[in-house]
Amino acid sequence: MALPRVLAFAGSLRKDSFNKKLVKIAVEGARSAGAEVTLLDLKDFPMPVYDGDFETAEGLPANAKKLKELFLGHEGLLIASPEYNSSITGALKNAIDWVSRVSSKEEPPLACFNNKVAAILSASPGALGGLRGLVHLRAILGNIGVLVLPGQIAVPKAHEAFDAGGALKDAKQDAVVRKLGAKLAQILIKLKP
């Protein structure tokens, strides 16, 4: 049986993003549970802000096509989402908007999201750890056909939570993050035909 494939990324463009550090830990959990994981950086896929007129005139930008192919090639999504003004980042929303667009008349709507399973998590310097943003991310993903695992993780005081190497200082917190990644892999294995 082929390994389940998970696409993992943070909704941040910042080089030293807490969420980039966090998703790497969850990736290790998913890999240890038997998933093949592709870790990407949204910064490597710069795209204009979604604009229907641009899409009509130009079609999908090259980086949107590349990102869409990655989404289509994976059954699972592992997303670490920062909280910006009590919601998700513009970069994450823009990526979702572009890859959701159909490339041809034969392609079903939301092909990149239908029948996908996602695990979501966040890290934030605030006391709630980005929890409010996860509420919005869960709603968006659920509305476009993604099954979002009920468990989620929000790491508060993220500026104090990681060591210089990007690891979580709290061993219990580290274990919970790895467990979420592993849970995603386990669910995907169970769902594989």
Cα dihedral 13, 79, 73, 99, rounded to 10, equals: -60
**Under 8 Å between Cβ of 49 and 94:** yes
Average pLDDT on 83-88 reads 95
Percent of the chain with pLDDT over 70: 99
The whole-angstrom separation of Cα 71 and Cα 116 is 9
Looking at per-residue pLDDT, the higher value among 52 and 104 belongs to 52
Give the architecture-level CATH label for domain 5-191.
Answer: 3-Layer(aba) Sandwich (3.40)
**Under 8 Å between Cβ of 121 and 154:** yes
- Using left for φ > 0, alpha for ψ between -120 and 50, and beta otherwise, residue 115 falls in left
Q: How high is the pLDDT of residue 193?
A: 76
Report in angstroms the alpha-carbon separations of 41 from 13, 84, 114: 7, 18, 22
Q: How many CB atoms lie within 10 A of CB 114?
A: 12
**Under 8 Å between Cβ of 129 and 138:** no
Lowest-pLDDT range of 101-115, 138-152, 175-189: 101-115
Buried b (16+ CB within 10 A) or exposed e, 32-71: ebebebebeebeebebeebeeeebeeeebbebbbebbebb
- φ, ψ of residue 43 to 5 degrees: the values are -65, -25
**Under 8 Å between Cβ of 10 and 22:** yes
Average pLDDT on 22-43 reads 98
pTM for the whole structure = 0.96
